[in-house]
Structure 1
Amino acid sequence: MIKPNESFSQFLAHIWHILPVALAVALPIALLGGLLLYWLRHRSLASTLTVLVLVPVLASLVGVLGVSGFMFNATLTTMLVVCLLVALITVPVAILLGRAIARRSVWEHEARQRERAAEASRRELVAWISHDLRSPLSGIRAMAEALADGVVAEPEEVAGYAGRISGEATRLSAMVDDLFELSRITAGALELTLSAVPLRDIVSDAVAAQAPLADRKRVRVLASAQSWPVVAGSDPELARVVRNLVSNAIRHTPPDGTVAVQVGVEGGDALLSVNDSCGGIPEDEIGRVFDVAFRGTQARTPERGVSTAGGGLGLAIAKGLVEAHRGKIGVRNDGHGCRFEVRLPLAAP
């Protein structure tokens, strides 16, 4: 502040006199702060913000001390107290702000990753389903044209073509059903009506429904239980989970192989496991088993005469339905095949 008996030119001369001293003592602090920030560039955001707050405070403090010649008086003491209070307030705020920004940055990064993964999964699903829909449609069209043009006239041949058209139409219907179910799950539109569901009925119905497929592939399906628990769930959705798991196990088990369905209680949950004889899942693929449209094979055309679950959606649907029941599903290699495990909450007594 300019004193009454001090001219403005004298004030400017005083400023120009102390400015080099202030710069000489404060500039090293700023340079050290820059080096410290460079060293902390890969550390936490809270550390970086703390340094950003401390550097100007310390530079101001050292500059004041240098200009005063370290001659402590009332004015210098007041300045030191003010700098200390500023540091005590701004440093905790910087740490909290850095942590909050870091958490938000991590959340935004994970959200972008999930969005990119979902978009890639949708593109992959559209490409695979388009191929899978094209194959049966082409077959149906070719056989229908053969029948309409009279190329096939013998009753046995006509019956054979009709049977194959019916089989392809069944495949198309299964794909559409799977797409509809998956859309309900991913859109959060799945509404469950929970009740006490006996797993004995679910497993027996699923095994019976997949018996024709097992017979065609010459695969034995065995069901056993230490006990038959009752779970809290929705009957149709749980039945679909077991059907999808058993169907998947049958399709990947070679002829004369065995699929074993086991039920019991473990750790307060109902445990249902499905073991197949597929030879195991490669370690680089086992984490993608439940991904939408993942089949673990380059072959896009299913076996003739073998019903499939559609465009590789069966396990993805099973995972979504199990999680909707607040359960867990997993897979691991076990012996000469792999083991799918489903854990479901038990029904209240």
Structure 2
Amino acid sequence: MNTLFARLLRSYVVVLFTAILVIGAALAYMYTESLFRAREQELIANGRRIAQIFQDSLLLFQPSILVRTRIEAIASTLGAEITVANREGLILTTLDESRAQRLRLSTSDVRTVLQEGTVVTRRGYEESVQEQVVTALVPIRAGQNVVGAVILHAPIRGTVAAIRAASRLLVVAALLAAGAGVAVSYVLSRRIVAPIREMTVAAAEMAQGNFQRRVENLGKGEVAALGTAFNELASRLGETIAALTSEKQKTESILSGMSEGVIAVDAAGRVILANPATSEIFGGPREWLDVSMAEDPQLSQLWPHFQRVLASGESTAAELHLDGRILSVNVAPLADPGGTPSGAVGILHDISERYKLEKMRRDFLANVSHELRTPLTSIRGFAQAILEGVVARPEQVRRYLQVIMDESLRLSRLVNTLLDLSRLESNAVSFAYEDVDLSASLASAVERLDPLASERDVEVRLSLAPLPPVKADRDWLAQVWLNLLENAIRHSPPGSQVHVRLERAGEPPAEKAVIDIEDEGPGIPEEEIPFIWERFYKVDKSRRYARGVGTGLGLVIVKELVERHGGQVRAENRPEGGARFRVELPLSRPAGQ
């Protein structure tokens, strides 16, 4: 087990036992040394007492019985063996003869004492007695001369026993101290490790995303400071992560809400970011991350522009024709914090609609110019003929003036129609919704166009089912019928019929009124039906600028008005020939609302 707690506990135990061993050894040495020194001092003191007895040098050659008795008494009291020697050899000893002989032959310390007159002590193991002994050699002086020596041998049986007893007591005390120390070390280690362990758990939770975790058991001292710093770090890190997450969500929301495509690549040209609009531009959802732009069939056309930016570090812009669409591409470099280019980001904008609108604007201006030029040219030509006297007869002048009047009216209708269309498309027209009887509205429109129908020998037949009124603007709804009826009459051959039918369709709440206006003309080429709702579009191109032909704006206005009333309009060819325009208006809810 290599946890911090185990390492701390082991460290404490090692230090504790090392200290106990060192202190125990030191105490044992000091105790042993003190016992030996005390024994030596005791022997030296008694040796000096004996030396005083032999200050009379005559006793060194023939000690009396009394002297022997006193020495033996001292030896018995000390538990020691005493030997007295003069310069010639032993004169008295309490040792047996064999030990005394060995001592006389082996001791060199006696000569040192006799020669130098100093006290000599010696410790060691004596083979003859198989135990430790302390020896003290004290000089015997006669005046200033050393005349002999007192040798005291004291075995240390009692001393060793005392040392052993003290050692046993010291070992017991050391074991008790070690046990207490281990317990204290265990408690201290746990107190130190507990906050750190809690910080470890908190750090693991933070790694999982829980930045609300705090360390409660802070402890004291440096660990408490560390815990406080950890809590502050968690708090600030949580705030930073929350801010980064918020910014990331904002960025993702912005990118997701952009109509322009945003795509970014790294320095190797692999996609690292693409928003949903990019998928829409390229045909639908797909996985973009880590796609190689150079190798992807959809992105390969973009790669040269990104490659140029990655190589030069400068922004670029271009327009691409991609699958029938036109893309505006703006590419800018991405840089790391050190300013080194690390990728590129491109903004893709589908400008096909803008090009289409621009084309429509150009076509509109061209068509308006043609539509205005035709009547103006006629007016100018006929007026010039009258002014220059080319025509003189009254009936010719009258006919020329009639043409001028007709073209002026046509020009007025064109301008009014353009104004109406502009107002409708800009929502500048207010609709006054009221209950309108569709049967009466259709009959009124037919009646107003009766002169045109009679002129072109076209019969208009009505088939009107009784229906409840609809909510509509009476005048604008009438304009719908007039435009459709006029269109049908003008495209019907003489002797033909235009049929107007009003029927109910659907079930509540999806009930609706269906109005069909059918002619018996040539019909509309199927491929041109989708385009008849465009401005100035005319099916018969040869009659585009002929007098008496419509402006090419009537169906545009019809579609706009019907949709403003909440309905639908469509065109189709009849199986038996001719065209049918069908208008559907809701009956169950107010139209246009």
TM-score by length of 2: 0.40
The CA deviation at 1:347 is 6.9
- In the superposition, relative to structure 1, how do residues 206 and 44 fare at CA in structure 2: closer, same or farther (>3 Å)? closer
Contact 2:503–2:513 (CA<8 Å) still a contact in 1? yes
Query: Which residue in 2 is equivalent to 1:291?
Result: 534
Contact 2:512–2:588 (CA<8 Å) still a contact in 1? no
**What residue ranges of structure 2 are gaps of 5+ in the alignment?**
1-269, 272-278, 293-346
Q: Which of structures 1 and 2 has the larger relative contact order (alpha carbons within 8 angstroms, sep 6+)?
A: 1
Query: Which residue in 1 is equivalent to 2:578?
Result: 337
Amino acid at match of 2:362: R
Query: Which residue in 1 is equivalent to 2:565?
Result: 325
Share of identical aligned residues, percent? 36
How many Å separate the matches in 1 of 2:406 and 2:518? 28
Check if 1:346 corresponds to 2:577.
no
Structure (1 or 2) with the larger CA radius of gyration = 2
Query: Which residue in 1 is equivalent to 2:369?
Result: 130
Query: Which residue in 1 is equivalent to 2:165?
Result: none
Counting only pairs closer than 5 Å after superposition, residues 105-254 of structure 1 correspond to structure 2 as 109=350, 112-254=351-493
- In the superposition, relative to structure 1, how do residues 181 and 226 fare at CA in structure 2: closer, same or farther (>3 Å)? same
How many Å separate the matches in 1 of 2:570 and 2:530? 10
TM-score by length of 1: 0.66
Q: Deviations over 1:112-146 (max 9, x none)?
A: 44333333222222212211211111111121122
SS at match of 1:295: coil
Q: Which runs of 4+ in 1 moved over 6 A?
A: none
Q: Which structure has more helix as a fraction of its residues?
A: 1
Contact 1:229–1:270 (CA<8 Å) still a contact in 2? no
Q: 2:288 aligned to 48, 51, 54, which one?
A: 48
Contact 1:132–1:300 (CA<8 Å) still a contact in 2? no
- In the superposition, relative to structure 1, how do residues 166 and 337 fare at CA in structure 2: closer, same or farther (>3 Å)? same
Contact 2:512–2:586 (CA<8 Å) still a contact in 1? yes
Query: Which residue in 1 is equivalent to 2:494?
Result: 255
RMSD: 3.0
- In the superposition, relative to structure 1, how do residues 202 and 149 fare at CA in structure 2: closer, same or farther (>3 Å)? same
The CA deviation at 1:348 is 6.2
SS at match of 2:527: coil
How many Å separate the matches in 2 of 1:206 and 1:292? 24
Q: Deviations over 1:192-237 (max 9, x none)?
A: 1111111122212211222222222221111211224411110111
Query: Which residue in 2 is equivalent to 1:272?
Result: 515
The CA deviation at 1:147 is 2.1
Amino acid at match of 2:425: T
How many Å separate the matches in 2 of 1:176 and 1:43? 42
Query: Which residue in 1 is equivalent to 2:336?
Result: none
Counting only pairs closer than 5 Å after superposition, residues 78-89 of structure 1 correspond to structure 2 as none
Amino acid at match of 1:240: Q
**What residue ranges of structure 1 are gaps of 5+ in the alignment?**
1-33, 53-103
Counting only pairs closer than 5 Å after superposition, residues 32-71 of structure 1 correspond to structure 2 as 44-49=284-289
How many Å separate the matches in 1 of 2:471 and 2:536? 29
- In the superposition, relative to structure 1, how do residues 176 and 293 fare at CA in structure 2: closer, same or farther (>3 Å)? same
- In the superposition, relative to structure 1, how do residues 271 and 162 fare at CA in structure 2: closer, same or farther (>3 Å)? same
How many Å separate the matches in 1 of 2:494 and 2:388? 39
Kindly tell me the number of residue pairs found equivalent between the two proteins.
Answer: 257
- In the superposition, relative to structure 1, how do residues 212 and 122 fare at CA in structure 2: closer, same or farther (>3 Å)? farther
